[in-house]
Amino acid sequence: MQFGEYLGNWSFGSGRTAILLSAFGTGGNGLCVMLTGGELAHIGGVAYAAPRNKSNADGITADISTVCGSGHKDVYAAAIAAKKICVSLGETICVTAGIHVDNATPEELERINKNVEAVTDAFIVSYQSK
């Protein structure tokens, strides 16, 4: 993998709740991921996850730092994806998220969260197979 290598796009869902994950590598020194979806791609929140050994020395966990744009909830999706990718791959991760759906219903919000998890899982499986 080359520095700044484009790793690809993964998508999950359809319509207003569809999520797109785009990923870039840094030659083994971490990953940059962007989550977009809904009706307007934007930058709403950022999550940074760094792997570390669990306190009981039984596996890996992640330290998470987040930055949220005023009034944005995208940071929650960014944090979920960052932690999952970090723990699964053992790499430092930065996830930028911008998912916007006007007047989203509770059901649509639940579907968006499920789609974020599903597209994250698809990325992890694909990355591990390379």
> Tens of pLDDT along 31-42?
999 999 989 889
Pick 3 or 42 by higher pLDDT. Answer: 42
What confidence tier does 28 reach under pLDDT thresholds 50, 70, 90?
A: confident
Alpha-carbon distance values, 68 to 19, 52, 79 (Å): 19, 24, 11
pLDDT at 1: 54
The answer to whether residues 22 and 14 touch, using CB atoms and an 8 Å cutoff, is: no
The answer to whether residues 51 and 90 touch, using CB atoms and an 8 Å cutoff, is: yes
The domain over range 3-128 is classified in CATH as 3.30.230.100: yes
Percent of the chain scoring above 90 in pLDDT: 86
- The ranges assigned to domains in the chain are 3-128
pLDDT at 130: 82
* Mean of pLDDT over the chain: 94
CB atoms within 10 A of CB 60: 13
What confidence tier does 2 reach under pLDDT thresholds 50, 70, 90?
A: low
* DSSP helix/strand/coil, 59: coil
pLDDT at 57: 83
Instruction: Tell me the pTM.
Output: 0.93
Average pLDDT over residues 21-26: 96
